[in-house]
Amino acid sequence: MGKLVINQEKVGNIKELINICPFGALEEKDNLLQINAACKMCKLCVKKGPKGAVEYIEEAVESVDKDQWKGIAVYVDHIDGVIHPVTFELIGKARELADKIGHPVYAIMMGYHIKSQCEELLHYDVDKVFAYDKEELERFKMEPYTKAFEDFVGNRKPCAVLFGATPVGRQLAPRLAARLKTGLTADCTILDINENTNLVQIRPAFGGNIMAQILTPNHRPQMATVRYKVMDAPERSGAVHGEIVPCDIDSEKLSSRVSVLDIIPKEKEQFIEAAEVLIVAGRGVKKAEDLGMLKELADLLGGQLACTRPVMEAGWLEAKCQVGLSGRTVRPKLIITCGVSGSVQFTAGMNHSDQIIAINKDENAPIFKTAHYCLVGDLYEIIPDLISRIKEGKDRN
């Protein structure tokens, strides 16, 4: 990184220099030229302004001793001891990354009476499970969890830390990153690692139009969150590998300014991420009433109804039913898209599905580049016929 420095004695005509900036980042104040927050560091003022009037000075970058940081750590996300399945997906990816650079895989779990859960993690090829088993950590609270995690990083110095992009992970990861003064990349879809231990964090950017590769070369640990159903979970091994390392921390450090008065359990919901079959309604569905036809197909196949962003924004289905980068990432065994064009933002949220069937009148629809089976035609003709054939098949059986 660098900064722009103005040499006022060399500026000359202030207004001419101000006109050079296309972003309006140069302004006059008290007869002096100043740079405001609109600056994009394009350096046009340096190149086209009077010589020496504005200079770009490269700031010294502090380097980190990467040899001091070892291991890929995974935060064990759980509610009341029930481990979220994204944790196992991240452990599988952590093992893959760690094997490339010869590092161990760590899991860090915080809670109360969590011995059995820590033992379960040893069936997933973890080298060490660091267990903070304290009454103050029984339920998630931001301050004590951050303090315990900071203690882990300070003592073990992991090269990278992976979080699931869950409600807890989305709160804990940025708080910890700010505390450690390091970088964090949210909602990664691909993770890789270089020989120099730099974590390559890949995620869609600019509305999904590009895939950005993000590095944190000068800070450790490197941190990333990953959505559920993006990575492959490893098979549970019957054998136990690794060890549990009990971790202690002063209870005074786990104090919190937040008191939980009551916990009211929600009714269990069916989430589209867990569905094995999804029928997705797109912009090609003409009106809300027509969703009943798609819902009937979903019920016949034992699946759920989902949608694209336009359908959700129209108020036809809830936000929790939306598939895509701004919705949910899904990985069903079968997904049938109905009148879905197939924008990058949508396909990035479902392109790992086992079987993708697309129905669209436009033979050039982008969704056909992703689908395994492509049906060019009117969904109002295809879906009723499909429903009829499924019913006939069930009647014969």
- Whether 46 shows a pLDDT value over 80: the answer reads yes
pLDDT at 1: 63
Mean pLDDT of 264-283: 89
One domain for residues 7 and 119 = no
Answer whether residue 259 shows pLDDT above 90.
no
Say if residue 74 is in the same domain as residue 188. yes
Please tell me the least confidently modeled range out of 33-42, 59-68, 98-107.
59-68
Report how far residue 2's alpha carbon sits from residue 56's, in angstroms, rounded to the nearest whole number. Answer: 7
Q: Within this chain, do residues 198 and 327 fall inside the same structural domain, yes or no?
A: no
360-385 pLDDT, tens digit per residue, is 999 999 999 999 999 999 999 999 99
What radius of gyration do the chain's Cα atoms show?
26
Q: Mean per-residue pLDDT for 337-350?
A: 92
Domain match, 154 and 28 both: no
Of 49-53, 153-157, 169-173, least confident by mean pLDDT is: 49-53
Mean pLDDT, residues 139-151 taken together: 95
pLDDT at residue 261, rounded to an integer: 85
Instruction: Tell me how far apart the alpha carbons of residues 134 and 113 are, in angstroms, rounded to a whole number.
Output: 8
Q: How many domains does the chain have?
A: 3
Using pLDDT thresholds of 50, 70 and 90, give the confidence band for residue 27: very high
Q: Which residues contact 116 (CB under 8 A, 6 or more apart)?
A: 81
- Residue 192 three-state SS: strand
Say whether pLDDT at 197 is over 70.
Answer: yes
The larger pLDDT score, comparing residue 172 to residue 64, is at 172
Determine the Cα angle at 35 with ends 32 and 41, to 5°: 145
Give the pLDDT band of residue 208 (cuts 50, 70, 90).
low
Give the chain's mean pLDDT: 93
* pLDDT value for 397: 65
User: pLDDT for 112-129, tens place per residue?
Assistant: 999 999 999 999 999 999
Instruction: Read off the CATH number of the domain in which 316 is found.
Output: 3.40.50.1220
The stretch 263-269 carries a mean pLDDT of 79
State what percent of residues in the chain have pLDDT above 90. 81
Q: Give the amino acid at 281.
A: A
pLDDT given for residue 169 in this prediction: 96
Q: Which domain holds residue 277?
A: 272-396
For residues 318 and 227, state if they share a domain.
no
Measure the CA–CA gap between 202 and 212, rounded to whole angstroms.
Answer: 6
CA–CA–CA angle 217, 220, 221 (5° rounding) = 120
- Within the chain, residue ranges assigned H as helices are 14-20, 44-48, 86-101, 115-121, 142-156, 167-180, 291-300, 309-313, 344-347, 379-396
Q: 389 and 364 share a domain? A: yes
Pair type for strands 222-226 and 78-79:
unpaired
DSSP 92-145: HHHHHHHHHHT--EEEEEEESS-HHHHHHHGGG--SEEEEEE-GGGSS--HHHH
3-class secondary-structure state, position 77 = coil
160 three-state secondary structure: strand
Domain assignment present for 263 = no
Cis previous bond, 22, omega within 30: no
Do 35 and 72 share a domain, yes or no?
A: no
Residues 222 and 247 in one domain: yes
Q: Are residues 180 and 321 in the same domain?
A: no
254, 284, 305 - which closes a domain: 254
Of 332, 339, 342, 257, nearest to 302 by C-alpha is 332
Query: Are residues 124 and 244 both part of a single domain?
Result: yes
> Would you say residue 227 lies in a domain?
yes
Instruction: Tell me what percent of the chain is helix, strand and coil, each rounded to the nearest 5.
Output: 35, 25, 40
- Percent share of the chain, pLDDT over 70: 99
Average pLDDT on 233-259 reads: 93
> Within this chain, do residues 120 and 167 fall inside the same structural domain, yes or no?
yes
Q: What is the mean pLDDT of residues 306-321?
A: 95
Q: Sign of dihedral through CA atoms 282, 212, 178, 220?
A: positive
> What predicted TM-score, i.e. pTM, was given to this entire model?
0.79
Residue 207 confidence (pLDDT) above 70: no
Same domain, 323 and 202: no
pLDDT at 345: 84
CATH number at 88 reads 3.40.50.620
Domain-located, residue 259: no
SS3 state at 352: coil
